[in-house]
Amino acid sequence: MSLMAPSFNIASAKVAVLMGGRSMERDISMLSGTGVLNALKQKGVNAIEFDPATRALQALVDEHFTHAFISLHGRYGEDGTVQGALELLGIPYTGSGVMSSALAMDKVATKRIWLSHQLRTAEFEVLSAQDLSLESLRGVADRMGYPLMVKPPHEGSSIGVSKVTDLASFEKAVNIAKQYDKEILCERFIAGEELTCPILGEGQGAKALPVVRIQAPEGAYDYQNKYFTDVVQYHCPSGLHADLDERVQELSLKAYRALGCRGWGRVDLMLDQATLEPYLLEMNTSPGMTSHSLVPMSAKASGVAYEDLCLEILKGATLTQPWGESNRPIELKRGEGA
């Protein structure tokens, strides 16, 4: 499948691989970005490392970069902020636009949009970090029951996420989560297997890649196990019944389209072991591209090598509003606009 933008020319392109950044996921971003950088170079692309934490984005214009491959994760990279800056600078970039990136980074907003589209997601409530009294926690537990998942809604990579089974662990979990966010997402725990489904493309042309089924020790698919151990088992093809696999892909595509995502992304889900119904968890608009990452794993299962995947994603780099004569930046003469 080709995602090539008409303006992309590998011979003349100068690509900034944005990696690092200022989020809690900086280290993972460096791993992802390094992998992408090396892959693009192998494909003959003039690709250069660019860390927004140490360099001003204006350098992208000053140094005549033509495209940006976003390998940033989390805040200031996956939440619409860098996408907005690139729109202003007129530099086509990979992945979703400003609004979709911002929505997908907010787990609460994402779930509300999915519910408005009648898409299945786990029952949830939101607490303010200013009101974490035991009375409030008891109320949530009474309404949804234990176990619960407690999450900071604007972080990724399972940062600050806890599973709670009683009031004491609930109180400890919200105190962890509030270190990262002003809101606390409390979600009904779904017993079952975790699934993920990468998506490539945009709108009705978007396609789902093979589903990955994840088996972590005691269900602990946390930050450490995601990136720094080999104890997690990944199954791709998933091993699910073909009809169920297709249902997961269909639900993932609907979730992706509901948020207006484009380019590429990854939908995370839980499969309820009692009902075999898939439940949406979250959308990743700048997924990991490390040696442990799931999008490259899924792409490989469909016959697409890592280097080819990186190039295809890059070819989809675009702007939400392409520059033209009608929206060219205004050039002020000295003394004007003061």
The H helix count followed by the E strand count for the chain is 11, 13
The candidate with the shortest Cα–Cα distance to 212, out of 266, 257, 169, 250, is: 266
Is 282 a residue of the active site? yes
Is 201 a residue of the active site? no
Is 51 a residue of the active site? no
Catalytic residue among 32, 101, 238, 284: 284
Distance between CA atoms of residues 156 and 165, nearest Å = 22
Is 334 a residue of the active site? no
**Helix 167-177 crosses helix 134-144 at what angle (to 10 degrees)?**
110
Distance between CA atoms of residues 114 and 121, nearest Å = 7
Is 25 a residue of the active site? yes
Tokens of 142: 């009474």
CA distance from start to end of the chain: 50
Other Cβ atoms within 10 Å of 120 Cβ, number = 15
The count of C-alpha atoms lying within 13 angstroms of the C-alpha of 327, restricted to the half-sphere facing its C-beta, is: 10
Catalytic residue among 23, 25, 78, 187: 25
Catalytic residue among 157, 162, 238, 298: 157
Distance between CA atoms of residues 77 and 330, nearest Å = 27
Catalytic residue among 106, 183, 187, 282: 282
Max Cα separation, the chain? 70
Is 243 a residue of the active site? no
Catalytic residue among 106, 187, 268, 312: 268
Tokens of 304: 């697409």
Q: What angle do CA 239, 161, 298 make, to 5 degrees?
A: 30
Catalytic residue among 26, 213, 262, 266: 266
Query: At 61, is the secondary structure helix, strand, or coil?
Result: helix
Is 78 a residue of the active site? no
Residues 280, 121: contact at Cβ < 8 Å?
Answer: yes
> What are the strands of the beta sheet with 46-50, ordered from one edge?
46-50, 14-18, 67-70
Tokens of 67: 């495209």
Is 268 a residue of the active site? yes
Catalytic residue among 288, 293, 298, 306: 288
Catalytic residue among 20, 80, 87, 227: 227
Residues 121, 111: contact at Cβ < 8 Å?
Answer: yes
Q: Which residues pair with 40 in a beta bridge?
A: none
Tokens of 220: 């602990």
Catalytic residue numbers, as ranges: 25, 157, 227, 266, 268, 282, 284, 288
